[in-house]
Amino acid sequence: MGRLLVTVQIILRLTVLALLAGTSPCLAAEEASQPISIEANRMVSQENENSVLFLGKVDARQGNLTILSEEMTVFYTEKKGAKENGKESQPTSQVEKLICKNNVKITQGDWLGTGDRMDYFAKERKVVLSGNAKGWQGQNMVAGKTIIYYLDEKRSVVEPDASTNSRVKAVIHPDSKKKP
The residue ranges of every structural domain in the chain are: 2-171
Report how far apart, in Å, the C-alpha atoms of 114 and of each of 35, 85, 111, 128, 140 are: 24, 49, 10, 10, 14
Which CATH architecture group holds 2-171? Sandwich (2.60)
83 pLDDT above the threshold of 50: yes
Give me the phi and psi of 106, to 5 degrees please: -130, 130
Contact residues for 74 (Cβ-Cβ < 8 A; gap 6+): 11, 12, 15, 51, 52, 54, 95, 97, 98
What confidence category does residue 79 fall into, taking pLDDT thresholds of 50, 70 and 90? confident
pLDDT tens digits, one per residue of 125-142: 888 999 999 999 888 999
Under a CB-based contact definition with an 8 Å cutoff, are residues 105 and 117 in contact?
no
How many other β-carbons are positioned within 10 Å of the β-carbon of residue 47? Answer: 11
Calculate mean pLDDT across residues 89-112.
Answer: 84
Contact residues for 63 (Cβ-Cβ < 8 A; gap 6+): 20, 30, 31, 34
pTM: 0.73
pLDDT value at position 81? 61
Contact residues for 51 (Cβ-Cβ < 8 A; gap 6+): 73, 74, 75, 76
